Amino acid sequence: MQGQSLSIDVIVPKDRPRRWQEIVIHRLAAEGHDLAILHDTAARPWPASANVLLALERAVFRRKEAGLAAPLGAIAPLARPRLPHLRLDLAGNAGLSDVPTIALRFDRSGCDLAGAAAVAAGRLPLLEAVLDGRTVVGRALPMIDRQEATALGVEDMLARAMTLLAATVRAFAEGRLAGLGVPLQEGDGTGFAGAYITRAVPRLGREALRRACFRQAHWRVGYRFHDGPGVAQEGRLGTGWQILPDAGDRFYADPFPFHWQGRPYLFVEDYVHAAGKAVISVVPFGADGRAQAPRVVLEEPHHLSYPQVFERDGAIWMLPEASASGRLTLYRAVDFPDRWSAEATLLEGEISDATLLEHEGRLWLFATSRDGFGSTSDTLVIFSASSLAGPWRPHGANPILIDRRRARPGGAFIRDASGNLLLPVQDGTLGYGGGLGLSALLALGENTVQLGEPRAILADGDWPYPRIHTLNRSGSLEVIDGIVAVPKPWWRSRAS
């Protein structure tokens, strides 16, 4: 059975299954598994109130397509003559069997509605894959990108439920499924409607008021020239930060410093609010260490960010994030720093913040993958190649983890004084841009990856925007960014 396709019995609710369950079936079939579809007649459908509230909220947020929680009329049963290798319980009610059975637990409940209720109540749900009703074999901490929006949060949660299931089935087929050694616990079973009315509606109202008065997101870049131990070594921001100014109609974020011919440069995401997308700009520094005016150096029809710039093989390269294009493109400097040419497509798909590392004679890319639905910030994938141009191969254990606290890189790898490799990682516990941590790379090879638990960076000192999500350094030039509340013009004029 090692690595081969499986015969799988997929158990779904007979009455009003949901779209995410149908998508799981399609994905398993596309991976070559031989499926039988069985109906669970005891599974209760979601209450009509939950379906109506989520559908109304999706309409408010102008989501025209059906959500992953949308009820279906039915999923047709499908027989198969062969005995199964595995049962996949998507209804949460299957009893014990001689056949290994994998089920999901949503916020410590076998019912996916419990996960939706957790999102409505403002909690961040835990997802667990459980083998034979007793052994946790997989865990996911899904990112909820917009915690004010229950319908969109439920989408994020169910998206990662599908990712976790697919990864668990793959591990089972490859003979590497193992218990995590954590106990099963029962949830409190909070009802959806009550949680929505008492918690979600007020939260949504507060966010609507905030968005009416303030920009949805606005970042500012901080920089300092600092010869001593930096943020990564001290674990805190400290003092001496200067702010890269902006006019309010645009913001700068995702700073990456680079030295060339003894002179420091700073590359940033340059987001114009009216355009709704960003370009890449460069900020030169004068001899006095003052930042000069940013100027655009790379623009595409799609959004660009995370301009990782590095030197290799006698050339200067940029590897910006461009997930909106559906590919990861490598650029070469034709006339540094102002002219760049697309050199190669390294990866296809919605890949975010791919961060390069050379380790033990091989090149590695750490990034997040959206996996078709949900957040771009909670699913870590790794690729490797013998040369920059590739081909880049996915790691056999992808996805490495599903964890809103440490999946998405927030800057280039850092080597500390002891030789340990640290990866700045975005912590999405408070939402996107909620904080930054440092995870030690404990193991990396063709068959293994291990990242340590993130150590939070303390946002103390004189930097005024404590919610940071990028950290980088080149020589003495250290850079960060932070999110700031910027009033819209009408609100600013009224307040003044």
Is residue 374 domain-shared with residue 226, that is, in the same domain?
Answer: yes
Last-in-domain residue among 180, 212, 244? 212
| Residue range 276-291, pLDDT digits in tens | 999 999 999 998 889 9
Q: What is the pTM of this model?
A: 0.95
Distance, CA of 314 to CA of 300 (rounded, Å): 25
| Residue range 176-197, pLDDT digits in tens | 999 998 888 777 666 899 999 9
Is residue 111 domain-shared with residue 244, that is, in the same domain?
Answer: no
- What pLDDT, on the 0 to 100 scale, is given for residue 341? 98
| Cβ–Cβ < 8 Å for 254, 426 | no
Is residue 200 domain-shared with residue 222, that is, in the same domain?
Answer: no
Is residue 256 domain-shared with residue 400, that is, in the same domain?
Answer: yes
Q: Does residue 453 form part of some domain? A: yes
Is residue 339 domain-shared with residue 231, that is, in the same domain?
Answer: yes
Is residue 147 domain-shared with residue 257, that is, in the same domain?
Answer: no
Is residue 131 domain-shared with residue 236, that is, in the same domain?
Answer: no
CATH, residue 47: 3.40.50
- What pLDDT, on the 0 to 100 scale, is given for residue 89? 97
Residue 300's alpha-carbon distances to 258, 399, 420, in angstroms, are: 22, 29, 37
Break the chain down into helix, strand, coil percent, rounded to 5. Answer: 20, 40, 45
Q: Does residue 396 form part of some domain? A: yes
Is residue 71 domain-shared with residue 196, that is, in the same domain?
Answer: yes
Per-residue three-class SS string for 345-385: EEEECCEEEEEEEEECCEEEEEEEECCCCCCCCCEEEEEEE
Structural domain boundaries enclosing 475? 217-495
Is residue 240 domain-shared with residue 192, that is, in the same domain?
Answer: no
Sheet (strand 468-474) strand order:
242-243, 219-225, 477-483, 468-474
Is residue 131 domain-shared with residue 278, that is, in the same domain?
Answer: no
| Residue range 63-121, pLDDT digits in tens | 999 999 999 999 999 999 899 999 999 999 888 899 999 999 999 999 999 999 999 99
pLDDT band at 213; cut points 50, 70, 90? confident
